[in-house]
């Protein structure tokens, strides 16, 4: 019983220690962000590798999610004679929920894991240590640009995901199932609110981008510098990102739409 | 630099103590590293030779004792001062530690681009000069993954001297190289020491190469300095531990066998 308690206590302590170190790390990275204004090239390069290279998976997933929404939504709405509202349903589901959440999950799997592995390997091969000895702070030169790039790329990817998803829903609803073209778009236009729906979705995707990128760069920087350590850190990135995004989504949704 | 300092050692280490967990790495180590000379720190694997370099570079803090570099107490420096000091230090990592996403050229240009506002044309001249010095001007467009171990180390050396440092630290520069590459590195360390008038610190356990180029040697083991002096003195030393290490004898004060119970009793005891 006592050893069990001790083990629980130790696990709790190490959890909070990691949480604390993660926050200190975030503060140090944020301190390096203003300096990047002078060197935008560093950030642009990273936006390419974090954002542009994630486009294929985001576009393809968005298309299929939108198509599935079109099919499922049509079946339910048609029972109530409200098939014309398909456009609203697809757009709201995507903009409010699926766009930010699914994009963040895919982002964690595609870009987050790559960031962790890259930074972890740079640590394992002494590249970060080497930079320090060349009087170049790796937190500013390596971590900060990647962090900023992730935070910028995530909302853009989520927006693209939602847009492509709406087009997927349109293909299925209007193209295959015969929903009225004009009703699909006009109802969507009338019922999707800029502040309540679109802006809230953007806030969500920004928050997810921040958390997902933070987890990815921290796990990489904190990885045990061995092959096994880097592989564990990469797994942790994907798992923690998924959990954090889903948990945070509930909190944000409750705050935004909780009335 | 003031006149008085020039006769003083560049690096003074006093009463250095460092523990990692329960393991004592340094237990009161005193070392002086004179200016403009090649000083070697030798010892068996795991004696904390690399740890010592990290303390000189301010990447690790000792639990007690002082490391002074060019009159500055490394542990007492603030971040900005420490970075200013590091610009005057070059370090050659065992792995080379080249940035894998940059070409050889960009790797050598990296410290120049980070720390100077020189125009690109001048950076080009400097990079080509440094690469010429290590004999790899023709390899400037290769990626680090295309280099052999010896070449990677020479590129890293070119990068370490890019900012014309006052001292260069070599971490196991001879390990894992074929005889020709090893010869090239030995030659380079000596040449750079003379041509750039830098202070060189070599951490190594390769007795032959190290004694061939160093002016002074410290031998460390079990957290203590076991002996120091010019290479010739150490090679002829009567102290049993130093003799065993310098001549590579399999048995001596460091026993061949890991501590174990009586051999015969162990065999007869059977499993369990």
Tens digit of each residue's pLDDT (9 = 90 or more) over B37-93: 999 999 888 888 888 999 999 988 899 999 999 989 998 899 899 999 999 999 999
**Helix boundaries (H) for chain B:** 49-56, 79-86, 104-115, 120-133, 149-160, 179-195, 207-213, 231-235, 240-247, 263-269
Question: Would you say A239 and A219 are in contact if contact means Cβ atoms under 8 Å apart?
Answer: no
- pLDDT above 50 (res A33): yes
What pLDDT, on a 0 to 100 scale, did the predictor assign at position A71?
A: 94
Query: Are residues A134 and B83, on separate chains, in Cβ contact within 8 Å?
Result: no
Among B59, B84, B94, select the one facing A132 at the smallest CB separation. Answer: B59
pLDDT tens-digit series, residues B204-220: 988 888 998 999 999 98
| Contact assessment for residue B32 and residue B12, using Cβ atoms and an 8 Å cutoff | yes
Global pTM reads 0.87
Provide the mean pLDDT of chain B.
89
How far CA B199 is from CA of A126, A233, B33, B195, in Å, comes to: 23, 40, 8, 11
Q: Determine whether the interchain pair B111/A136 forms a contact, defined as Cβ–Cβ distance below 8 Å.
A: yes
- Of A62, A103, A60, A99, the closest CA to residue A212 belongs to A103
Number of neighbouring beta carbons within 10 Å of residue B87: 18
pLDDT at residue B2, as a whole number: 46
Residues of chain A contacting residue B110, judged by C-beta atoms under 8 Å apart: 134, 136
Q: List CB contacts (< 8 A) between B87 and chain A.
A: 134-135
Does the pLDDT value for residue B5 go beyond 70?
no
pLDDT tens profile A160-187: 999 999 999 999 999 999 899 999 999 9
Please say if the pLDDT value at position A109 is more than 90: yes
* CB-based contact A130 B91, cutoff 8 Å: yes
Q: Do A129 and B97 touch (CB under 8 A)?
A: yes
Residue pairs spanning A and B at CB distance below 8 A: 48
Phi, then psi, of A191 in degrees rounded to 5 = -105, -20
Q: What is the predicted pLDDT for the residue at B1?
A: 44
Residues in contact with B16: Cβ distance below 8 Å, sequence separation at least 6, in sequence order: B26, B28, B29, B30, B31, B52, B55, B62, B64, B65, B66, B67
Is the pLDDT confidence value at A148 over 60?
A: yes
Residue B226: closest CA among B9, B57, B49: B49
pLDDT at B3 over 60: no
Q: Which residues are paired to B17 by β-bridges?
A: B27, B64
What gap in Å lies between CA B66 and CA A158, rounded to an integer?
54
Percent of the residues in chain B that have a pLDDT greater than 90, as a whole number: 44
**Cβ–Cβ contact A132 with B under 8 A:** yes
How does B241-270 read in b/e, with b if 16+ C-beta sit within 10 Å?
A: bbbebbeeeeeeeeeeeeeeeeeeeeeeee
**What does the pLDDT look like over B129-181, one tens digit per residue?**
999 998 999 999 999 999 988 899 999 999 999 999 999 999 999 888 888 88
Contact list, A126 vs chain B (CB under 8 Å): 93-95, 97
Instruction: Please give the mean pLDDT across all residues of chain A.
Output: 93
Tokens at A249, concatenated: 């989504």
Whether the per-residue pLDDT at A121 is higher than 90: the answer is: yes
How many helices and strands, by DSSP H and E, does chain B display? 10, 10
- Hey, are the CB atoms on A135 and B100 less than 8 Å from each other? no
pLDDT at site B7? 75
Residue of B86, B97, B117 to mutate, interface with A, max A Cβ within 10 Å: B97
Q: What is the pLDDT of residue B96?
A: 85
pLDDT band at A1 (very low <50, low <70, confident <90, very high): confident
Angle between helices A99-107 and A200-222 in degrees, nearest 10: 10
Whole-number Å distance between alpha carbons of A93 and B50: 57
Write out the H or E segment, with its range, that includes residue B252.
none
Among B56, B79, B99, B108, which would you mutate to test the A interface (most chain A Cβ atoms within 10 Å of its Cβ)? Answer: B99
Residue of A nearest to B82 (CA): A135
Q: CA of A141, closest CA in chain B: separation in Å?
A: 9
Residues near A176 by Cβ (< 8 Å), separated by ≥ 6? none
Residues whose CB falls within 8 Å of the CB of residue A213, separated by 6 or more in sequence, listed in order: A50, A112, A115, A146, A147, A149, A150, A151, A154
Q: Is A135 on the interface with B (CB under 8 A)?
A: yes
């Amino acid at each position: 019983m006592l050893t069990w308690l001790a083990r629980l206590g130790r696990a709790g302590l190490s959890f909070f220690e990691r949480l604390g170190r993660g926050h200190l790390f975030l503060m140090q990275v944020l301190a390096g962000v203003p300096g990047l204004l002078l060197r935008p090239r560093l950030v642009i390069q990273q936006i390419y590798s974090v954002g542009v290279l994630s486009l294929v998976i985001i576009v393809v997933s968005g298309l299929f999610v939108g198509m599935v929404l079109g099919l499922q939504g049509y079946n339910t709405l048609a029972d109530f004679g409200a098939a014309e509202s398909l456009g609203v349903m697809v757009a709201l589901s995507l903009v409010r929920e699926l766009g930010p959440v699914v994009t963040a999950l895919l982002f964690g799997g595609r870009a987050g894991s790559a960031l962790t592995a890259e930074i972890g390997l740079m640590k394992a091969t002494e590249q970060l240590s080497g930079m320090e000895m060349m009087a170049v702070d790796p937190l500013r030169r390596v971590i900060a640009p990647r962090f900023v790039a992730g935070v910028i790329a995530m909302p853009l990817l989520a927006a693209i995901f939602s847009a492509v998803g709406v087009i997927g829903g349109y293909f299925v609803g209007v193209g295959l199932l015969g929903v009225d073209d004009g009703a699909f778009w006009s109802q969507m236009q009338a019922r999707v609110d800029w502040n309540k729906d679109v802006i809230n979705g953007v806030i969500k995707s920004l928050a997810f981008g921040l958390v997902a990128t933070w987890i990815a760069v921290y796990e990489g920087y904190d990885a045990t510098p061995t092959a096994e350590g880097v592989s564990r850190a990469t797994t942790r990135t994907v798992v923690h990102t998924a959990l954090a995004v889903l948990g945070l989504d509930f909190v944000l949704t409750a705050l935004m739409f909780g009335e | 630099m003031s006149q008085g300092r020039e006769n003083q050692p560049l690096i003074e280490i006093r009463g250095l103590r460092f523990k990692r967990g329960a393991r004592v790495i340094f237990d009161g180590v005193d070392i002086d590293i004179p200016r403009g000379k090649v000083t070697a720190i030798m010892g068996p694997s795991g004696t904390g030779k690399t740890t010592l370099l990290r303390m000189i570079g301010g990447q690790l803090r000792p639990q007690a004792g002082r490391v002074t570099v060019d009159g500055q107490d490394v542990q007492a420096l603030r971040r900005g001062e420490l970075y200013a000091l590091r610009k005057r230090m070059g370090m050659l990592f065992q792995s080379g530690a080249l940035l894998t996403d940059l070409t050889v050229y960009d790797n050598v240009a990296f410290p120049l681009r980070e720390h100077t506002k020189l125009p690109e044309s001048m950076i080009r001249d400097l990079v080509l000069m440094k690469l010429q010095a290590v004999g790899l001007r023709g390899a400037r467009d290769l990626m680090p993954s295309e280099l052999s171990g010896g070449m990677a180390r020479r590129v890293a050396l070119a990068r370490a001297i890019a900012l014309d440092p006052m001292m260069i630290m070599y971490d196991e520069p001879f390990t894992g190289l074929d005889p020709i590459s090893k010869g090239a590195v030995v030659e380079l360390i000596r040449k750079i020491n003379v041509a750039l008038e830098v202070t060189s610190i070599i951490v190594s356990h390769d007795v032959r190469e190290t004694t061939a180029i160093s002016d002074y040697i410290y031998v460390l083991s079990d957290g203590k300095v076991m002996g120091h002096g010019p290479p010739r003195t150490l090679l002829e030393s009567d102290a049993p531990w130093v003799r065993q290490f310098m001549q590579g004898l399999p048995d001596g004060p460091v026993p061949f066998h890991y501590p174990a119970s009586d051999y015969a009793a162990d065999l007869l005891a059977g499993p369990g």
